[in-house]
Chains A and B, each alone.
Chain A
């Protein structure tokens, strides 16, 4: 129902902190965009700027083509779900959901109908007369969502809404948010630091680092084709394996091992070889050898952790391998591994830029 455009958006605080640096973004109708990044990266600031809770230092923001830089939060017609829910503790669930409608001068009977309908959709219609303190975490979360939905806003903004829930509930609510967002078709921005949440929810996700958008794209795009070292290391669980490397004599030198099949890489620049755990497999003639430290059995597959032979002690050379059910290994065992060279990525260590 709405599109949001950010162009050259900057946020500088009075103390000189530059929280958001030149963000450009087009969000199309009905999309669910996730901002993901480590804490303090500016993702929440950016969201709050969209909500109007933080001023925009520089650049322009438009909703449906209309500039909103100077519009007050209430007039932007956006709804926000807060991390701690921010429910009004002294009001009943019904009043919590109706409050925004009352303040907008909606007729009483319409409010009643709207709130009941939304409560039904969220399965909280039995709690309408309760106060937030009498609800469980998951129910409060639903009320907070209900308060946003009931207003039928142009934009939903979610600020880490699931981080106060336990793991099981988080997965459940994640699915529900996705379903509701699809059903309602409301353009949404979702902020999280949890990359699993980001991957599973997003139509597109924006990885943010130090106020800059490192890369924006669909979850699979970011996973299989990261543009920077930061994106590669942030997306994916378990993390991508990173091994320091050098390009010498037409071969990629990783520790003791020379890998063929790489060319046109700069010499004399510290490089980083990145390879996902599932692109490594135990192989009798493998070029790399690790001594197994730890094996995590996940059921369908197992994760083998170990240190790669042929590195001196200071450099990081831990590897994680996702192996199938069939391969059983014990700590202390030495196994040989083969990399799928075609899936390996090479980054510059200094700028983080991806070379291959």
Chain B
């Protein structure tokens, strides 16, 4: 009895400490973002609400010149959304079709090819960034959404997950479908896609968050303000805000940070049921 009491107490204490440790910076950033720039400059970080919430967020989100020279935070949010969604959907589509080909079509070198795909895990974007930039620039795709998304969507991990899942689908389903006059495309659309629904959802969520948080590639790719994503915006805002010897607008930087974290948090919160389902169970 007492043993279990102390165990409960200690585990909770550890969890609470961890939670505070992880969320305190976010809390401080949010609180500070609701204060006037003078308060922040004079008194440093703030730990409770100030009176400038609407003012700051309105200026950041909607007023031209409020945060960058021209672009507003809402535009950057849209850019990030396009990157996140394009990245996630592109990855699912490409890796699913690659896995489908590898598992269901008997072509030469299917297994070696799979391992070649798998080996690209050793070549993340950071390693191949110069040639990738060269290619995208050569195609005239700098500062476009296409250029931002396409070099990122090939996914070895996604292919691997889908391959493992397809391999666990009983072969009789394919045979039954063949007898039911379903061709390869019908089988994919009518049977495999619905079966991998939860799996697709899980990968979409993970990849959306990863796509949203992309930093290096958009940083190099985007030179015009209008194609900035919000993550790049955070980086750039310090340069913009401290220009011209004015008072640094730290509350705006904090506001932008909070805005950048919100969508991924919402996505995970809303879809977490699906997410867990996709990782632990399958409908077979």
- The chain A residues found within 8 Å of chain B, CB to CB, are 51-53, 72-74, 78-80, 82-84, 86-91, 99-100, 103-104, 133, 147
B178–A90 touching, CB < 8 Å: no
Q: How far is the CA of A122 from the CA of B197 in the complex (A)?
A: 31
A86–B191 touching, CB < 8 Å: no
B38 at interface (Cβ–Cβ under 8 A)? no
- The chain B residues found within 8 Å of chain A, CB to CB, are 170, 172-173, 175-182, 186, 190-191, 194-195, 197, 283-284
A84–B172 touching, CB < 8 Å: yes
> Which of A72, A78, A90, A100 has the most C-beta atoms of chain B within 10 angstroms of its own C-beta?
A90
Give 7 closest A-B pairs by Cβ, nearest first: A86-B172, A100-B180, A74-B181, A103-B181, A86-B176, A90-B194, A82-B172
Q: Which residues of chain B come closer than 8 Å to A104, judged between CB atoms?
A: 181
B172–A89 touching, CB < 8 Å: no
Give the shortest distance, in Å, between B125 (CB) and chain A (any CB).
36
| Apart from the given pairs A72-B178, A74-B178, A99-B190, 8 other A-B contacts in the complex at a CB distance below 8 Å | A51-B179, A53-B178, A80-B175, A86-B172, A86-B176, A89-B195, A89-B283, A90-B197
Q: Which residues of chain B come closer than 8 Å to A88, judged between CB atoms?
A: 173, 176-177, 190-191
> Which of B178, B181, B190, B191 has the most C-beta atoms of chain A within 10 angstroms of its own C-beta?
B181
Secondary structure at the B interface, as helix, strand, loop or mixed, is helix
Name 28 A/B residue pairs within 8 A (Cβ), A-sorted. Answer: A51-B175, A72-B178, A73-B175, A73-B178, A74-B179, A74-B180, A74-B182, A78-B179, A79-B179, A84-B170, A86-B172, A87-B176, A88-B176, A88-B190, A89-B195, A89-B283, A89-B284, A90-B191, A90-B283, A99-B177, A99-B180, A99-B190, A100-B179, A100-B180, A103-B181, A103-B182, A104-B181, A133-B283
A86–B186 touching, CB < 8 Å: no
Give the shortest distance, in Å, between B192 (CB) and chain A (any CB).
10
Q: Which residues of chain B come closer than 8 Å to A52, judged between CB atoms?
A: 178
Q: How far is the CA of A182 from the CA of B14 in the complex (A)?
A: 71
A103–B180 touching, CB < 8 Å: yes
Q: Name which residue of chain B comes closest to A48, CB basis.
A: B175
Give the shortest distance, in Å, between B177 (CB) and chain A (any CB).
8
Q: How far is the CA of A82 from the CA of B178 in the complex (A)?
A: 13
Q: Which residues of chain A come closer than 8 Å to B284, judged between CB atoms?
A: 89
Contact of B170 among A79, A86, A103 (CB under 8 A): A86
Q: How far is the CA of A84 from the CA of B173 in the complex (A)?
A: 10
Q: Which residues of chain B come closer than 8 Å to A103, judged between CB atoms?
A: 180-182, 186
Q: How far is the CA of A300 from the CA of B216 in the complex (A)?
A: 84
Q: Name which residue of chain A comes closest to B169, CB basis.
A: A89
Q: Which residues of chain B come closer than 8 Å to A99, judged between CB atoms?
A: 177, 180, 182, 190
Contact of B181 among A83, A90, A100 (CB under 8 A): A100
Q: Name which residue of chain A comes closest to B171, CB basis.
A: A86
Q: How far is the CA of A231 from the CA of B181 in the complex (A)?
A: 38
Q: How far is the CA of A127 from the CA of B196 in the complex (A)?
A: 25
Give the shortest distance, in Å, between A326 (CB) and chain B (any CB).
51
Q: Which residues of chain A come closer than 8 Å to B197, judged between CB atoms?
A: 90
Q: Name which residue of chain B comes closest to A153, CB basis.
A: B179
Q: How far is the CA of A74 from the CA of B180 in the complex (A)?
A: 6
Q: Name which residue of chain B comes closest to A78, CB basis.
A: B179
Q: Which residues of chain A come closer than 8 Å to B182, judged between CB atoms?
A: 74, 99, 103
Give the shortest distance, in Å, between B5 (CB) and chain A (any CB).
42
A88-B173, A89-B284, A99-B190 known; A80-B181 Cβ under 8 A: no
Q: Which residues of chain B come closer than 8 Å to A83, judged between CB atoms?
A: 172
Give the shortest distance, in Å, between B200 (CB) and chain A (any CB).
13
Q: Which residues of chain B come closer than 8 Å to A73, judged between CB atoms?
A: 175, 178-179
Q: Which residues of chain B come closer than 8 Å to A86, judged between CB atoms?
A: 170, 172-173, 175-176
Q: How far is the CA of A89 from the CA of B191 in the complex (A)?
A: 9
> Which of B179, B197, B284 has the most C-beta atoms of chain A within 10 angstroms of its own C-beta?
B179
Give the shortest distance, in Å, between B44 (CB) and chain A (any CB).
57
Q: Which residues of chain A come closer than 8 Å to B173, judged between CB atoms?
A: 86, 88
Give the shortest distance, in Å, between A14 (CB) and chain B (any CB).
11
Q: How far is the CA of A78 from the CA of B178 in the complex (A)?
A: 11
Q: How far is the CA of A99 from the CA of B195 in the complex (A)?
A: 16
Q: Name which residue of chain A comes closest to B186, CB basis.
A: A103
Q: How far is the CA of A83 from the CA of B186 in the complex (A)?
A: 24
Q: Which residues of chain B come closer than 8 Å to A72, judged between CB atoms?
A: 178
Give the shortest distance, in Å, between A93 (CB) and chain B (any CB).
14
Q: Which residues of chain B come closer than 8 Å to A82, judged between CB atoms?
A: 172, 175-176
